[in-house]
Amino acid sequence: MTVQLTRAQLIAFMALIVAVVMVTLAPVVVTGIMGKVVPDSLVAVSDKCITGLIGVLGTLVGVMWQSRPKSGEPAGTLADPVNTKEVAS
């Protein structure tokens, strides 16, 4: 992967997080700061979006944690099935 691709992926990921947080915090801001009444269903959707965002971020961190290289294992060993080159006997 190139540095530009990685940076573009990070920017897209951060934009997605910011968009979801803005949408989910809108009912809280309208109710709490502005003092206006919003329907309960809108607050429930906001709560579900935050819960879903936490679940998605947790899953991504888990995948990143599992894909990190293990210390002390050179690439291409049997513990690394993607980079292992088996020799046909």
In whole angstroms, what is the distance from residue 69 CA to residue 65 CA? Answer: 9
Q: What is the pLDDT of residue 60?
A: 79
List the chain domain ranges. 3-67
Q: Supply the pLDDT for residue 63.
A: 79
Alpha-carbon distance 74 to 68, whole Å?
13
Question: What pTM was computed for the model?
Answer: 0.50
| Residue 10: per-residue pLDDT | 80
Query: Going residue by residue through the chain (89 aa), what tens digit of pLDDT does each one get?
Result: 566 767 777 888 888 888 888 888 888 888 888 888 888 888 788 888 888 888 888 887 787 777 766 666 555 555 556 665 655 55
